[in-house]
Structure formats: structure tokens, C-alpha cells
């Protein structure tokens, strides 16, 4: 799970052609982020959106309305909604977060750094807090989703944590969340999909 290189890993053509597994899910989210930034900031320099450009070339996506990102964002959203069952609200959450925090090109690197810290802390904490729950049978997805949502809610609202390192990570996540403005529902969908895909990857191996 290459979460520590979330925005730096170069996407491979086959990953966009047949999305599956944690790496492909993360790659598609990274592509969507870059496309949303291209649209919101009017980016025309391919250097700022390398993963999106590779996605564009691989799927031969024509530029829409003379703007980079418009068609690419729509295509990435379509694939993720179809393959992972994500709702429109998930993508609106990304769009709002990008719009709020990225006013110009100078903000891009800072935003990526913040999101990487947020996602790493969140996933590591959820792994520690849920542990045995990850062993719930795959056919009980609704139960696992509900447990994920409850744990996310605890992370965002619970006042007392016995373990000092957990308390410290919870504080960090809440600070990131205030800046990035992701809802509990968004966080649940993000974590739940990675949990399910990681289990599928482990089963294949």
C-alpha cells in the first residue's frame, strides 16, 4: 500500500485500463485531484498534472471546452463510481477541498503534503483501532461499513483516549480535517474502500 508516496508515484498505463486493488484506487483518486485542480485554477502546464496527463493519453480523452481537466475529471469520476460504487458526494468533497485550499499554483505542493499526512495518519489509526473487525467476512460489507463509520465518528468526536500515541494522532487528524474540510462520510468511504481492496489484494497473494 503506497500511501507514503500518495502523490509522487507515477501511474502505469495498465493501472488506468483495468483499475483494481489499492494502488489503482489511489492512482485514480490522485488523477481526480489533479483534474480538479486543473479545472479550478485553469492549469495548462502538464508538469503540474503528470498523472492526469498520462491518464488522458492512455484513454485518449479529448480536451473538452478547450480546458485541461474537464473531460479527465468526468472520466475518472465515471470509472470510480462504476468500479467502487462511490457516490457523487465523494467527488464533491474533493472538489470543495481543492477549491478552498488551492487558490493558485503555489498552494499545490502544500495541499498534497497536507493530504498525504492526513491520509497516512487516518489509515494507520483506523488499522490500530479496528484490528479484529477487518477479519469480518467479505459478504458482511454493510456491517464493516457501519463499523468503519462509527470508528471515524469516534476519531472526530471522542474526548478521552487512553493511549498517548492514539491521542496525538487523533489531534493531528482533526487539525488536518479542519483544513481540508472532509466530512465524516467522505472519510468513511475513503477508508472503507481501501480496507476492502487491501483484503482483496491479500487474498489474491
For 68-112, how does the pLDDT look when each residue is reduced to its tens digit (9 = 90+)? 999 999 999 999 999 999 999 999 999 999 999 999 888 999 999
Q: Is the pLDDT of residue 15 over 70?
A: no
**Looking at residues 151-162, what average pLDDT do you find?**
94
pLDDT at 137 (0 to 100):
67
The pLDDT-based confidence of 138 (bands split at 50, 70, 90) is: low
Rg (CA), the chain: 17
φ, ψ at 110 (rounded to 5°):
-65, -40
User: Among 154, 135, 146, which residue's Cα sits nearest to residue 198?
Assistant: 135
64 three-class SS? strand
Helices (H) and strands (E) in the chain, counts: 9, 0
pLDDT at 201 (0 to 100):
78
Q: Is the pLDDT of residue 19 over 50?
A: no
| Sign (positive or negative) of CA dihedral 117, 40, 178, 81 | negative
194 three-class SS? helix
Are 40 and 98 spatial neighbours (Cβ–Cβ below 8 Å)? yes
Amino acid at each position: 500500500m503506497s500511501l507514503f508516496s500518495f502523490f509522487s508515484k507515477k501511474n502505469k498505463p495498465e493501472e488506468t485500463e483495468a483499475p483494481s486493488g489499492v494502488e489503482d484506487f489511489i492512482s485514480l483518486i490522485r488523477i481526480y485531484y489533479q483534474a480538479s485542480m486543473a479545472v479550478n485554477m485553469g492549469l495548462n502546464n502538464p508538469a503540474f498534472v503528470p498523472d492526469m496527463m498520462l491518464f488522458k493519453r492512455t484513454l485518449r480523452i479529448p480536451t473538452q471546452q478547450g480546458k485541461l481537466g474537464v473531460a479527465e475529471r468526468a472520466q475518472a469520476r465515471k470509472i470510480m463510481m462504476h468500479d467502487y460504487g462511490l457516490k457523487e458526494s465523494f467527488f464533491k468533497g474533493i472538489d470543495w477541498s481543492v477549491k478552498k485550499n488551492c487558490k493558485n499554483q503555489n498552494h499545490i505542493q502544500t495541499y498534497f503534503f497536507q493530504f498525504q499526512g492526513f491520509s497516512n495518519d487516518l489509515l494507520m489509526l483506523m488499522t490500530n483501532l479496528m484490528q479484529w473487525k477487518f477479519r469480518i467476512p467479505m459478504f458482511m460489507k454493510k456491517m464493516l461499513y457501519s463499523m468503519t463509520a462509527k470508528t471515524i465518528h469516534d476519531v472526530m468526536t471522542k474526548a478521552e483516549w487512553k493511549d498517548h500515541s492514539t491521542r496525538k494522532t487523533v489531534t493531528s487528524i482533526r487539525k488536518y480535517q479542519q483544513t481540508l474540510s472532509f466530512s465524516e462520510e467522505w472519510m468513511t468511504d475513503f477508508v472503507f474502500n481501501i480496507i476492502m481492496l487491501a483484503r482483496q489484494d491479500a487474498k489474491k497473494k
